[in-house]
Chains A and B, each alone.
Chain A
Amino acid sequence: MSATQVGTPLSSAIVKVEKLSKTFGNLKAVDNVSFEIKEGEIFGLLGPNGAGKTTTINMLTTLLKPTSGDAKVCGFNILKQANEVRRNVGVVPQEYTADEDMTGKNNILLCADLYGIPRSDSKPHAEELLKLVELQDAANKKVSTYSGGMRRRLELACGLINYPRLLFLDEPTLGLDVQTRTAVWKYIKTLKEEYRMTLLMTTHYLEEADSLCDRIAIIDHGHIIKIGSPEELKESVGGDVIVVVIKELEPDISSDIAQIKLVKDVKKNNNTYRIKTELGEEASPQITDLIRSKGLHVTKVSLTKPTLDEAYLEFTGRNLREEEVDKLQMFRQRVTMRRARS
């Protein structure tokens, strides 16, 4: 996905985050985070649950006050010019926030009223946005009759009503079926390419980040671990990965494998070796030869080309997450997932 340069030059930073931190009690949800987003790009925040993605977005959209640090969004300070920030950005939150008892169109008009957009403008604009997200037929139906995909598209339309220069998308495809997810991806691309909008999105779906984002920040435990384009991140994992399973648990031959010229790194876990190498196709016969020469037996060999998944796991580790998260946030996430499936 090449960064198509349309409209305004991409050099200027539309978001500047400086040493932003947020502490809840003892938990450092976001810890000293700094990054910049260029005008016109899709910037992804990628990380496991509880990594601090939503907290970061909430601070940048002025819903949360940072414990320390500062940020400028669209040139406005998030603390001192909160209302200017709010006027210039659109927010599509993770949960479905539309009012169930109102029609889709009235929900959009309500959002417009909250921005102070006169009805003379918001009425035709709402129609256009409903057309953009392909909801014009359901516009006058109550949201309680909408499917999960329709709700998500409605949220997107609400987030666009104030002509934002920058759109925040928090987990835009959480729990959606493949069709809706593909449609949401299409809208996101349209927004960038035709509306020249800058987007900041969070996700924990890696293929989503890979195909949509120009740059990705991997965030975990409140820290940004790595920022780069999807290609840069994949390369940084260090090429191909060969996984070899050996019948015998002992001896450990990691250091012998590491001697092979193409091999960059070896990690042993029980009888499984995870070997990072260049030119995996050439390295793997050399590795199996070496193992045989030690009198050991290879049970399984696999070669993987780098994916964003590999990079992600490399940076965030393979441990399962069992952190305690905010009760209310979990409740909302469950509601979102449940409604997405309806």
Chain B
Amino acid sequence: MDKTESKKEIPLEDPTVQEKQTEVSEEKDRTLRTPPKLNRSPLHGLWALTNRDLRKWYTNPVQLIVSLIQPIVWLALFGKALNFGSFISGSGASPAQQNAILQSFFGTTSYFSFLACGMLAFIVLFTSAFSGMSVVFDRRFGFLNKALSTPVARGSIVMGKILQSVGRSLVQAAIILVIAVLLGMDTTHFTVPGIAGTFVVVFLMGMGLSALFTMLALRSADWQTQMAIINLINLPLLFASNALFPTKIMPTWLQDVVKVNPVSYANDATRQLLIGATGMNNLLVDFAVLIGFAAILSAVGIVLSWKLLSK
């Protein structure tokens, strides 16, 4: 008690005592002043939360570069080394026959272009998978509690995580696309609406997938479990889709799985939009499925956030 009393005296010994005192009285006036009018819209704080996570990423170029290396390696390994197209071109068939075979399997004559579209799904899938991780860390280190003690909408906390992940996916997809073109992706079918449509697909798939992974993390404070969940879900979603291989070469039971996997619809749409491939569905069907996937999972995520974020 004595110590604190004497501490309080220190400002009085300060030569700038006059100034200090006026400051204090100003502060007094401030507290008596009515607080500012608050923005009570249910969306307030959403951008602040989204930007908080995005900033961590764009101010840390190492993260960005590392997250791009993996799909580039895949593009090079699968697209160039394990080139399914070369099985056919080495078969001794005439070029016309080769193209017909390629066309029937991949919907296009270039396996690399086929795979480049799959890589867009790949990068979205892996970026989204980690959207849940930041929820886990926010819970573990207390930021989540701080956010919950403010009047920000619980749904905004979840939507912030989803949107930041979608933002990353869009940027990374753009970079992948540029690299794929540099590595020899077929650009003859590129159109402005086609590219724009591709980014809409990336947006919708990113939204649905990151909503899925975020809601799985809502209650968790344990990052090991979260890692296990990511691995459990990610690889099946990738391999049980048409991202790397055409559906035609799969057994029938797997084809059925591919048909319910939303990642397949995204690939189907981007291949039609970018490389003019013959798709398995009408584009409208693809978009309808993706819109439904994104909307339903985001809605479920928001509803769960009301229930699960606070105990």
* Nearest CB of B to A62, in Å: 7
Interface size on B, residues (CB 8 A): 43
Residues of B within 8 A of A97 (CB): 141-143, 145-146
Q: A189 touching B147 by the CB < 8 A rule?
A: no
Per the bound structure, the CA–CA distance linking A1 and B289 in Å amounts to 68
Residues of B within 8 A of A113 (CB): 44-45, 47-48
Residues 20-56 (chain B) with a chain A CB within 8 angstroms: 24, 27-28, 30-31, 35-41, 44-45, 47-49, 52, 55-56
Residues of B within 8 A of A83 (CB): 151
Residues 284-311 (chain B) with a chain A CB within 8 angstroms: 310-311
Residues of B within 8 A of A182 (CB): 3-4, 7
Residues of B within 8 A of A335 (CB): 141
Bitwise interface map of B from 112 to 152 toward A, beta carbon under 8 Å scored 1, else 0: 00000000000000000000000000011111011111111
Q: A117 touching B38 by the CB < 8 A rule?
A: yes
Residue in A1, A64, A95, A114 whose beta carbon sits within 8 Å of that of B311 in the complex: A64
> Who on chain A is nearest to B152 by CB?
A114
- Asked whether any CB of chain A lies closer than 8 Å to the CB of B59, the reply is yes
Residue in A64, A114, A211 whose beta carbon sits within 8 Å of that of B150 in the complex: A114
A32-40, A86-94, A235-243, A316-324 - interface stretch: A86-94
Residues of A within 8 A of B149 (CB): 61-63, 86, 91, 93
Per the bound structure, the CA–CA distance linking A188 and B37 in Å amounts to 26
Interface size on A, residues (CB 8 A): 49
Q: A91 touching B146 by the CB < 8 A rule?
A: yes
Residues of A within 8 A of B143 (CB): 97-99
Residues of A within 8 A of B56 (CB): 101
Q: A102 touching B55 by the CB < 8 A rule?
A: yes
* Nearest CB of B to A83, in Å: 4
Per the bound structure, the CA–CA distance linking A331 and B1 in Å amounts to 32
Residues 141-200 (chain B) with a chain A CB within 8 angstroms: 141-143, 145-152
Q: B146 touching A117 by the CB < 8 A rule?
A: no
> Who on chain B is nearest to A89 by CB?
B149
Residues of B within 8 A of A120 (CB): 36
Bitwise interface map of A from 166 to 205 toward B, beta carbon under 8 Å scored 1, else 0: 0000000000000000110110010000111100000000
Q: B8 touching A95 by the CB < 8 A rule?
A: no
Q: B150 touching A111 by the CB < 8 A rule?
A: yes
* Nearest CB of A to B289, in Å: 35
- Asked whether any CB of chain A lies closer than 8 Å to the CB of B221, the reply is yes
Residues of A within 8 A of B4 (CB): 182, 185-186, 189, 211
* Nearest CB of A to B30, in Å: 7
Per the bound structure, the CA–CA distance linking A107 and B311 in Å amounts to 25
Per the bound structure, the CA–CA distance linking A87 and B153 in Å amounts to 12
Per the bound structure, the CA–CA distance linking A120 and B36 in Å amounts to 9
- Asked whether any CB of chain B lies closer than 8 Å to the CB of A251, the reply is no
Q: A115 touching B150 by the CB < 8 A rule?
A: yes
Per the bound structure, the CA–CA distance linking A64 and B145 in Å amounts to 10
Residues of A within 8 A of B151 (CB): 83, 86-87, 114-116
Per the bound structure, the CA–CA distance linking A101 and B56 in Å amounts to 7
> Who on chain A is nearest to B3 by CB?
A182
- Asked whether any CB of chain B lies closer than 8 Å to the CB of A121, the reply is yes
Residue in A93, A111, A163, A197 whose beta carbon sits within 8 Å of that of B145 in the complex: A93
Per the bound structure, the CA–CA distance linking A128 and B151 in Å amounts to 23
* Nearest CB of A to B55, in Å: 7
* Nearest CB of A to B258, in Å: 40
Residue in A114, A132, A185 whose beta carbon sits within 8 Å of that of B48 in the complex: A114
Taking A116-B40, A116-B151, A189-B4 as contacts, is the C-beta distance between A194 and B28 under 8 angstroms?
yes
Residues of A within 8 A of B8 (CB): 186, 189
* Nearest CB of A to B122, in Å: 27
* Nearest CB of B to A117, in Å: 6
* Nearest CB of A to B205, in Å: 28
Residue in B31, B35, B45, B311 whose beta carbon sits within 8 Å of that of A196 in the complex: B31
Q: B52 touching A110 by the CB < 8 A rule?
A: yes
Residues of B within 8 A of A116 (CB): 38-41, 44-45, 151-152
Q: A121 touching B36 by the CB < 8 A rule?
A: yes
Residue in A64, A87, A163, A332 whose beta carbon sits within 8 Å of that of B142 in the complex: A332
Taking A63-B148, A115-B151 as contacts, is the C-beta distance between A96 and B142 under 8 angstroms?
yes
Q: Give A residues with C-beta under 8 Å from B.
A: 1, 61-65, 83, 86-87, 91, 93, 95-99, 101-102, 110-111, 113-118, 120-121, 128, 132, 158, 162-163, 182-183, 185-186, 189, 194-197, 207, 210-211, 328, 331-332, 335
Complex A-B: 9 CB contacts under 8 Å: A64-B310, A91-B146, A93-B142, A101-B55, A111-B150, A195-B28, A197-B31, A210-B1, A335-B141
Pairs A-B, 7 closest by C-beta atoms: A113-B48, A116-B39, A163-B35, A97-B142, A121-B36, A114-B150, A116-B44
Q: Give B residues with C-beta under 8 Å from A.
A: 1, 3-4, 7-8, 24, 27-28, 30-31, 35-41, 44-45, 47-49, 52, 55-56, 59-60, 139-143, 145-152, 221, 310-311
> Besides A63-B310, A116-B45, 20 other CB < 8 A contacts?
A62-B148, A62-B310, A87-B38, A95-B145, A97-B146, A98-B143, A101-B56, A101-B59, A102-B55, A113-B45, A113-B47, A116-B40, A116-B41, A116-B44, A116-B151, A162-B150, A163-B31, A207-B1, A331-B140, A335-B141
